[in-house]
């Protein structure tokens, strides 16, 4: 039986798509520019540009036009790179979220409540962060081995609650034996 393992190109397609879609021209261009700007060749080109600009300074007598060329060029490159970097980070973040969602979905004991946590507001994320910090503290305090999921902690809390009785009830103490006083302890 010949089973084909999914490749990065085929795993992202839906079952209805017979073949992977080719990215649009702007996306291909952005990928190429992102790849180039992160390369050693791009760093060398940037340094060479600065060296050539500095070497041409005496020729132009370090006038305003000479400075304006480098200022304008670096401003334009910086402006475009901001959007290119943001696009790259957004795409990487989305890919990481998808991979983590796949892992959470595949694990049997994992809670899938937070699969879409990236869609929550900053305030909701901060509240959840505090909740999980408190949960971690409770788990460390009550169980040195620690629960692995929220459900395990809640199950353990219910189990402990049943063992101690209803809320407000005092736990019954086991009768203790009084030790006899001996002459040495008196």
- Closest CA relative to residue 142, chosen from 115, 104, 134: 134
Question: Which pLDDT does position 109 carry in this prediction?
Answer: 73
| Rounded Cα distance, 32 and 18, in Å | 26
Q: Would the pTM count as exceeding 0.75?
A: no
HEC profile for 67-127?
A: HHHHHHHHHHHHHHHHHHHHHHHHHHHHHHHHHHHHHHHHCCCCCCCCCCHHHCCHHHHHH
What residue has token string 């060479």? 48
pLDDT at 80 over 90: yes
pLDDT at 125 over 70: yes
What residue has token string 């798509």? 17
Answer for the pair 55, 47: CB distance below 8 angstroms, yes or no.
no
6-59: pLDDT as tens digits: 444 444 555 455 577 888 888 889 889 999 999 999 999 999 999 999 999 999
Work out the mean pLDDT of the chain and round it to a whole number: 78
49-70: pLDDT as tens digits: 999 999 999 999 999 999 999 9
Question: Which pLDDT does position 96 carry in this prediction?
Answer: 92
Question: Which pLDDT does position 8 carry in this prediction?
Answer: 45
């Amino acid at each position: 039986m010949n089973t084909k393992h999914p490749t990065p190109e085929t795993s992202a397609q839906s079952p209805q798509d017979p073949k992977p879609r080719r990215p649009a021209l702007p996306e291909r261009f952005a990928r190429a520019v992102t790849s180039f700007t992160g390369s050693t060749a791009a760093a060398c080109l940037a340094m060479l540009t600065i060296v050539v600009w500095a070497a041409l300074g005496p020729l132009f007598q370090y006038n305003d036009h000479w400075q304006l060329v480098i200022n304008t060029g670096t401003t334009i490159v910086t402006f475009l790179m901001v959007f290119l970097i943001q696009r790259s980070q957004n795409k990487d973040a989305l890919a990481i979220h998808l991979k983590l969602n796949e892992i959470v979905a595949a694990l049997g004991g994992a809670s899938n409540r937070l699969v879409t946590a990236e869609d929550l507001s900053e305030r909701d994320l901060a509240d959840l962060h505090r909740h999980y910090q408190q949960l971690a503290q409770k788990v460390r305090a009550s169980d040195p081995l620690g629960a692995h999921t929220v459900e395990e902690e809640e199950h353990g809390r219910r189990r402990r609650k049943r063992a101690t009785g209803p809320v407000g009830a005092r736990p019954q103490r086991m009768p203790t034996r009084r030790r006899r006083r001996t002459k040495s302890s008196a």
